[in-house]
Structure 1
Amino acid sequence: MKIDRDGVNLQVEVSGPEDGPAIVFSNSLGTTLHLWDQVIPLLPEGLRLVRYDMRGHGQSDVPDPPYTMGQLVSDAEAVCDALNVRDCLFVGLSVGGMIAQGLAVKRPDIIRAMVLSNTADKIGNKALWEDRINAVTQQGLAAIADGVMQRWFGSDFYGTPAMAQWQQMLSDTPAAGYAGVCAAIAGTDFYTPTSGLRIPTLGIAGSQDKSTPPDLVRETVDLIPGSQFALMQRAGHLPCVENPTAFAELLNKFIADTGHL
């Protein structure tokens, strides 16, 4: 289905009972809602599962860049409001985890607990993102794809046939959409707002993640009192792809621990 947010159509997929406890998934830069395909079947029955393509990605509209983090957070808010999602567990990976932090501060009625996977309150710096934007704008996604794969995946997964679909997904991302989200990340520092959150939080990191190293993820979730942290060994930036079974086990335990189902 499509949900309109101020003229930007966002692609959304929903499964499970309409009255079930909701889990909302927000994916990373350069991926689509299919990032979660291998995790979804491993979750308990009875949950209402919501996934969406952020602007500039997948089947969502591609407005002209740059984008702001406020726009990305408002997009997630619009999806939740359109589906009447309240008290959800929000699972965000990379920029999706930044969106989770922003939405939890803005709309505490929507998020009761969150999983911050391979993310941080601040990722990289403006110079890094400006270089990435320039490379993508001038040369296209294919030119940076292999370098991104090396940051995304651990040594066990990188270069295997299974990696090909993810490299293709990245290469298929519209350059304008990718650059737009890069700009949003470049302008974001959630240290202070995230420090004020008081909701159940699980941080997940990959031991071989070169984009958001484990210490960065741990430092971010440590801002939230009572948070948990889990390290997935030999995984990179997308552990839900490299080891969906282990990722789902962490998620299912957190669902149980928080009484979400």
Structure 2
Amino acid sequence: MSVVQLADGDLHYQLEGPAGAPVLVLSNSLGTDLHMWDAQMTAFTRDFQVLRYDTRGHGQSLVTDGPYSIEQNGRDVLALLDHLDIAQAHFCGLSMGGLIGQWLAINAPERIVRLVLCNTAAKIGTPEVWNPRIDGVLAGGAQAMRDLRDASISRWFTADFAEANPGQVEHIVGMLAQTSPEGYAANCAAVRDADYREQLGAIRAPTLIVCGSGDPVTTPEHGRFMQARIAGAELVEFHAAHLSNVQAGDAFSQRVVEFLRA
């Protein structure tokens, strides 16, 4: 297992693809791990060295006391890049990963070549949404995570996709059921507190915004809000719910590769 030793624990990562190729960092959504990108790996590793990692509180990475912040998660990415001696990279993040991408592009612009923001927003949800979820997960522990697993299917996938692809759905939602309740709750707080609506104009990296037409969490309207404020940003919309990389599959991968190679 490959890890970078942070001050408070180990951050798990995988680096795959041709040595010397441009680096593409992939950042997972809340409640998943680096394997949420499995469907993209064949396409992405043709042209890029792909650096996947488990965000703090997820997968095989460290779980520390919360609450976390998106800045903290962003600094974990910078520590990972420094550890691997990567001066610059493309960055693709989905949902919470997209918030991390926004923080990096605003606060460490010299490290980001091109930016892909998937199924995300400059501000996701409200305290009225997040606080009961945090309290419920901390009180209910592993059982609460299993309950979230079932509730998340309708947010993450459209009904027709979930019915037709039970294996793919189970692969993804199984990650949520295995996520640390403490790590999940700490990252819920990070998402709750992040708000980049007034800072989007500072992003100068070429940016692609990916939306899902059936996404009930971060809607195409959220995507258009970001596009209007990030100079030159492109936007693509797929028939998908919140996890467009899984549901749109090859079409998602092709569009991202086209953008990164432009």
> Normalization by structure 1: what TM-score?
0.94
Q: In 2, distance between residues paired with 1:155 and 1:205?
A: 17
Q: Are 1:211 and 2:211 matched, yes or no?
A: no
Residue 187 (structure 2) aligns with: 181
Q: 2:258 aligns with which of 231, 253, 257?
A: 253
Change (3 A) 1:44 1:172: closer
Residue 155 (structure 2) aligns with: 151
Deviation (angstroms), 1:170: 0.7
Structure 1 segment 50-89 matched on structure 2, within 5 A: 50-89=51-90
- For residues 146-197 of structure 1, what are the alpha-carbon distances to aligned partners after superposition, in whole Å with 9 as ceiling and x for unaligned? 2211111112222442212222111100100100100001111011222211
Deviation (angstroms), 1:114: 0.3
Q: In 1, distance between residues paired with 2:150 and 2:220?
A: 22
Q: In 2, distance between residues paired with 1:226 and 1:142?
A: 41
Q: Are 1:242 and 2:247 matched, yes or no?
A: yes
Structure 1 segment 29-40 matched on structure 2, within 5 A: 29-40=30-41
Change (3 A) 1:7 1:131: same
Q: 2:200 aligns with which of 184, 191, 194?
A: 194
Q: Are 1:167 and 2:173 matched, yes or no?
A: yes
Deviation (angstroms), 1:236: 0.8
Contact kept, 8 Å, 1:136 with 1:143, in 2: the verdict is no
Runs of 4+ in structure 1 off by over 3 angstroms are none
Q: In 2, distance between residues paired with 1:137 and 1:59?
A: 20
Q: In 2, distance between residues paired with 1:44 and 1:222?
A: 31
SS in 1 for 2:198: helix
Q: In 2, distance between residues paired with 1:119 and 1:86?
A: 25
Query: Which amino acid is 1:149 matched to?
Result: I
Q: In 1, distance between residues paired with 2:232 and 2:225?
A: 13
Unaligned stretches of 5+ residues in structure 2: none
Deviation (angstroms), 1:44: 5.6
Taking only the aligned residue pairs, the percentage that are identical comes to 36
Contact kept, 8 Å, 1:27 with 1:33, in 2: the verdict is yes
Unaligned stretches of 5+ residues in structure 1: none
> Normalization by structure 2: what TM-score?
0.94
Contact kept, 8 Å, 2:17 with 2:45, in 1: the verdict is no
Change (3 A) 1:44 1:165: closer
CA-based RMSD of the aligned residues comes to 1.3
Contact kept, 8 Å, 1:116 with 1:221, in 2: the verdict is no
Contact kept, 8 Å, 1:2 with 1:9, in 2: the verdict is yes
Q: 2:238 aligns with which of 220, 232, 240?
A: 232
Q: In 1, distance between residues paired with 2:15 and 2:180?
A: 24
Change (3 A) 1:5 1:221: farther
SS in 2 for 1:14: strand
SS in 1 for 2:254: helix
Deviation (angstroms), 1:221: 2.7
Number of residue pairs the alignment of both structures matches:
256
